[in-house]
Structure 1
């Protein structure tokens, strides 16, 4: 079974630093702590920026030009007509998706780095391309496992559904089960640069900080590094995010066709009807919410993972002494 070597003095930060004297955690413990930490990180980050997420989706799927004034009008109208809770509409679907998504993504990233042999600062710096690929593969792994939940979340954000179950029942009854994977191709094409750039940037900044200061970053430094990673990752994949949302939320026409039947037709339709600026509609909001979400997510993940592995090492040490 695979093991992760952790420093004996508190167990912080896995193979990225610590003393020469090391203990070992079993592969099962490494995976479980990654899953729990990833799930918590995703839940905290997405709940924090849920109102901004819903507002962004509303502009992404409409022909309404994006402006910050329009954002305030949308938020004000939603609160006035539906109450403050309307800004978190669809968040239950988001949680149902983001908890397994983040858990799988962070865990897959650690495993892909291990398989590609870029799981230490030294090997990551020696093979930057493999390091980038590890992040991309983690994104594809998690997105593939949870895609129907992402589509349901997008539908709930723009329409009034009572529950996540109601979304699935209505889609399957009216449009067919295959519809649950509409926009999957655009999503995977987008997640490759997004996850790759995000993980690569975050890890690279941590490695640079370690080389420069001799200590691993923590707390607010991790939030800042995560924010930079999120801004770069989301900017690199944003046009495909627009395509994905249009395909996910488009309702089937009476003749059985869809307004956005595929990636290329969707790109062409958006360009001809709204111009190239439409591919970056809401991006400025992403520069606000994206870095916040990714920063919180990475920092929360690192903190909880280290905490859990410290606890696991403590129990392992006590067990050895009994």
Structure 2
């Protein structure tokens, strides 16, 4: 009986033991889960590190892509400026080529005083003797020079404005505006000067006694006068281009700025741009005209090898003109003709440049939008 009564204790013991085992198993499971959690934690850190590295790689890739886009945009701007400047210069110079040839002929001749009647007689005689195409004689040399000259001038002006930070962030830097224009003129003139000399030589000769082609100009000068002659009058040109280009760009940009402040329109129409360019051309021509006379005299001067003064200086040329012709008939001879052709040429050049540039920019944006 007493043993039978002890059976429940066995059951209770078994139950208790089972409970303890369950508790032990549960505890073990919890510990294993905790251990698993502890083991998984480094994996999460590693994944997190990898995720951060991926973000950095994406950011680096984005920055490189942005830099590549900036470089591409800058190249596009340079190409657009080159094309626009070349077209503007070619159109402007072709338009006033007969007047330009007339002006150069009076500039280099001290025996014939300038007048509108004399200039018209010169045009009529040239037409009667050589035909209408003779009025554009030397224009091929002009195009060979003006296309790269205008392209370089307008493009370098954009770059000089950026380097000198002209009128950025709402500022009004008039001095830098003038310097940027002068540096653009020096840059373009320095890179194309021999072509300017060749154009002057062809303009003052006829096809029978002078130079027939641009190639012949360079060949004869090189053989008969020496290679240094190709740069005769260079410093007079540089000294003249500083006030000319500086005043021209300064006047044009200032008028556009004033127009924007008064009217509120950042892009004046073609007629307004033409008027602003004409004013800029008149101002630039007047500021630099005496040195233009000097460079033309030096460019067209034929000097023999045994002459005592093969390469006259700027001061010597200035003194000779003043002594023999005076100020009005010497230094400003043909200026009234320049007041006609200069504003026309510069007006066409500036307005054409702005028009073609805006059109090409819009075209490039449309093309880029289609690609994207």
After the TM superposition, which residues 91-102 of structure 1 pair with which residues of structure 2 at under 5 Å, given as runs? 91-102=139-150
What are the Cα deviations for residues 63-109 of structure 1, in whole angstroms up to 9, with x where unaligned? 11111111011111111111111110000000000000000000000
Map of 2:371 onto structure 1: 319
The yes-or-no answer on 1:131 pairing with 2:177 is yes
- Which structure has more relative contact order (CA 8 Å, sep 6+)? It is 1
What are the Cα deviations for residues 226-257 of structure 1, in whole angstroms up to 9, with x where unaligned? 00000000100000000000000000135234
* Alignment counterpart, residue 274 of structure 1, candidates 325, 332, 335: 325
Q: Distance in 1 between matches of 2:170 and 2:231?
A: 39
Higher Cα radius of gyration: 2
Q: Distance in 2 between matches of 1:96 and 1:35?
A: 15
* Alignment counterpart, residue 56 of structure 1, candidates 103, 109, 119: 103
Q: Distance in 2 between matches of 1:226 and 1:257?
A: 44
Map of 2:126 onto structure 1: 78
| Aligned-residue CA RMSD (Å) | 1.5
2:103 touches 2:334 (CA, 8 Å); kept in 1? Answer: yes
Q: Distance in 1 between matches of 2:251 and 2:174?
A: 10
Q: Distance in 2 between matches of 1:317 and 1:239?
A: 51
Q: Distance in 1 between matches of 2:279 and 2:71?
A: 32
Which segment is superposed worse, 31-40 or 213-222? Answer: 213-222
After the TM superposition, which residues 1-322 of structure 1 pair with which residues of structure 2 at under 5 Å, given as runs? 26-63=73-110, 64-118=112-166, 120=168, 122-123=170-171, 125=172, 127-159=173-205, 160-215=210-265, 216-253=267-304, 255-257=306-308, 261-277=312-328, 278-320=330-372
1:25 touches 1:313 (CA, 8 Å); kept in 2? Answer: no
Instruction: Note the C-alpha offset of 1:32.
Output: 0.1
What are the Cα deviations for residues 181-210 of structure 1, in whole angstroms up to 9, with x where unaligned? 000000000000000000010011001111
Q: Any runs of at least 4 consecutive aligned residues in structure 1 with deviations exceeding 3 A, and if so which?
A: 256-260
Greater share of helix: 2
Q: Distance in 2 between matches of 1:117 and 1:97?
A: 29
How many residues align structurally?
A: 296
Q: Distance in 1 between matches of 2:366 and 2:230?
A: 44
TM-score (structure 2 length as normaliser) = 0.78
Q: Secondary structure at the match of 2:368?
A: helix
Q: Distance in 1 between matches of 2:184 and 2:133?
A: 33
Q: Distance in 2 between matches of 1:184 and 1:260?
A: 12
TM-score (structure 1 length as normaliser) = 0.89
Gaps of 5+ in 1: 1-22
1:121 touches 1:207 (CA, 8 Å); kept in 2? Answer: no
